[in-house]
């Protein structure tokens, strides 16, 4: 099968596969070239998500999010005017987080994926979504072609250096653990190929709740908790209703609040933002009834993290951002970029009751200026950082609404 993206359609044809001579020949595994201890892979960090490059069946470099919560690699989108070949496919329906039915997809077998210069899998299964329901490219401001997770974590010890923006994918037989006491190591358990860790959440000062959390490198929030999954976890009294993201089965909404702390051994993250997704959005994953939530990139990026499936453990060491306060969007505006890498910003969500909603900002408005600066010269992270500044900060916006210029002056307020 050949996937060709021109402007708005997919063309299905046939597949050509190639292979390389590597150190071992076992099906459906990733291998590092014989004699190497590790492969160092740079990544882009955007929206609290790791974006790395790989090649699928000899393609040009594709950008995939590294998501430990994903079992099988998912192809979301194909670069404009590019051609991607995949092999042996059949039609399926996939389902995950979100409100709605599953979506149509293809499952393709016997594909080759290359990561860096020295890592390959010659028998990779890939799921190809027939509709890009995530629209991650528009939301992150980068072309995002897919998501990959379990297969990489299964075959390597994965060292994530968030401060310096690189991964080291280690041959498990060659990795030697540091004897530094600065690391805190916790055991991992697995369910359907997904990693879980037991940590302690401080719901209020002095009240600790042991929780089983999915280790989710692809989650942008710091912490998710499932209300009623534990007798001491309930919906918070102080919260804001919010859009939490998109899953395979639709949009995810819930409540955003804070907990006093997240404890990883003797390491404590203070005043952590936490999301409580609506039960209807997570009913599909609650078949694993012992799970209490997730720890995502918003918390993990405060550490150097070593994820070791082989020995079933995860290690944490303080990073440069360990003491950075946990911020959230006080403005209430979510943005998307209709054309990734082109600085055009459209309002995609407005939180009810937020300063933006109170001042009349609506979905579909085009954002032209922030604090007298034209957004054509601003990056996506730069704009979003303006929405997460101090309580009481005043922000001035100029919006375009169907050709009409709208000036808005709003005051940020801390709701949680």
For 234, the token pair is 């309930």
CATH number of 2-170: 2.40.70.10
d(CA 270, CA 168): 29
In CATH terms, are 2-170 and 333-411 the same topology?
Answer: no
Domain boundaries, the chain: 2-170, 184-318, 333-411
Q: Are 191 and 288 in contact (CB under 8 A)?
A: yes
Q: Are 120 and 54 in contact (CB under 8 A)?
A: no
H or E segment to which residue 206 belongs? none
H or E segment to which residue 382 belongs? helix 380-386
**Quick one: 55 exposed, middle or buried, by C-beta within 10 A (0-12, 13-18, 19+)?**
middle
Assign 358 a pLDDT band (cuts: 50, 70, 90). very high
For 369, the token pair is 């200026």
Q: Using only the alpha carbons of the chain, give its radius of gyration.
A: 22
Which residues sit opposite 315 in a β-bridge? Answer: 185, 306
Assign 101 a pLDDT band (cuts: 50, 70, 90). low
Ranking 45-49, 173-177, 205-209, 364-368 by mean pLDDT, the lowest is 205-209
User: What's the whole-number mean pLDDT along residues 88-101?
Assistant: 69
H or E segment to which residue 5 belongs? strand 2-5
Instruction: Output the pLDDT for position 57.
Output: 94
H or E segment to which residue 357 belongs? helix 355-358
Instruction: Output the pLDDT for position 10.
Output: 29
Does residue 198 carry a pLDDT above 70? yes
What is the reported pTM?
0.85
Measured in Å, how far apart are the chain's first and last C-alpha atoms? Answer: 50
d(CA 257, CA 254): 10
**Quick one: 212 exposed, middle or buried, by C-beta within 10 A (0-12, 13-18, 19+)?**
middle
Q: Which of 327, 270, 41, 310 is nearest to 161 (CA)?
A: 41
Does residue 410 carry a pLDDT above 90? yes
Which residues sit opposite 406 in a β-bridge? Answer: 399
d(CA 299, CA 172): 26
Q: Which of 279, 256, 269, 258 is nearest to 200 (CA)?
A: 269
Q: Are 134 and 142 in contact (CB under 8 A)?
A: no
Instruction: Output the pLDDT for position 250.
Output: 62
Q: Between 236 and 347, whose confidence is greater?
A: 347
CATH number of 333-411: 2.30.42.10
Whole-angstrom CA distances from 19 to 29, 59, 120 are 13, 13, 9
User: What's the whole-number mean pLDDT along residues 34-42?
Assistant: 93
Does residue 287 carry a pLDDT above 80? no
Instruction: Output the pLDDT for position 286.
Output: 54
Q: Tell me which of 3.30.465.10, 3.40.50.12780, 2.40.70.10, 3.30.70.20 is the CATH number of domain 184-318.
A: 2.40.70.10
Does residue 64 carry a pLDDT above 50? yes
């Amino acid at each position: 099968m050949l996937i060709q993206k021109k402007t708005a359609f997919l063309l299905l044809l046939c597949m050509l596969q190639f292979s390389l001579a590597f150190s071992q020949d076992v099906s459906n595994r990733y291998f590092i070239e014989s004699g190497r201890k590790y492969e160092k892979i740079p990544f882009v960090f955007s929206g609290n998500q790791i974006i790395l490059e790989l090649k699928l069946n000899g393609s040009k470099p594709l950008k995939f999010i590294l998501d430990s919560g994903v079992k099988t690699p998912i192809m979301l989108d194909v670069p404009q005017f590019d051609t991607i070949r995949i092999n042996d496919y059949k039609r399926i329906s996939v389902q995950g987080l979100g409100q709605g039915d599953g979506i149509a997809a293809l499952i393709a077998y016997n594909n080759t994926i290359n990561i860096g210069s020295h890592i390959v899998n010659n028998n990779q299964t890939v799921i190809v979504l027939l509709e890009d329901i995530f629209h991650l490219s528009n939301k992150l401001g980068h072309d995002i072609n897919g998501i990959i997770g379990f297969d990489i974590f299964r075959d390597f010890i994965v060292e994530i250096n968030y401060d310096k923006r690189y991964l080291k994918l280690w041959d498990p037989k060659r990795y030697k653990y540091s004897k530094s006491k600065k690391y805190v190591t916790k055991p991992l358990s697995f369910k359907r190929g997904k990693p879980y860790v037991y940590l302690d959440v401080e719901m209020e000062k002095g009240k600790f709740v042991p929780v089983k959390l999915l280790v989710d490198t692809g989650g942008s929030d710091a912490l998710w908790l499932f209300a009623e999954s534990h007798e001491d976890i309930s919906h918070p009294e102080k919260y804001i209703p919010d859009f939490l993201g998109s899953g395979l089965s639709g949009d995810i909404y819930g409540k955003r609040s804070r907990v006093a702390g997240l404890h990883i051994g003797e390491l404590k993250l203070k005043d952590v933002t936490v999301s409580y997704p609506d039960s209807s959005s997570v009913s599909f994953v609650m078949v694993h009834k012992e799970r209490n939530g997730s720890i995502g990139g918003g918390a993990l990026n405060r550490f150097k993290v070593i994820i070791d499936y082989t020995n079933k453990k995860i290690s944490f060491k303080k990073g440069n951002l360990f003491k950075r306060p946990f911020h959230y969007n006080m403005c209430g505006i979510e943005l998307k970029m209709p054309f990734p890498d082109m600085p055009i910003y459209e309002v995609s969500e407005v939180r009810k009751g937020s300063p933006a909603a109170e001042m009349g900002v609506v979905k579909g408005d085009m954002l032209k200026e922030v604090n007298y600066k034209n957004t054509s010269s601003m990056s996506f992270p730069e704009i979003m950082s303006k929405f997460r500044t101090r309580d009481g900060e005043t922000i001035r916006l100029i919006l375009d609404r169907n050709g009409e210029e709208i000036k808005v002056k709003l005051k940020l307020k801390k709701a949680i």
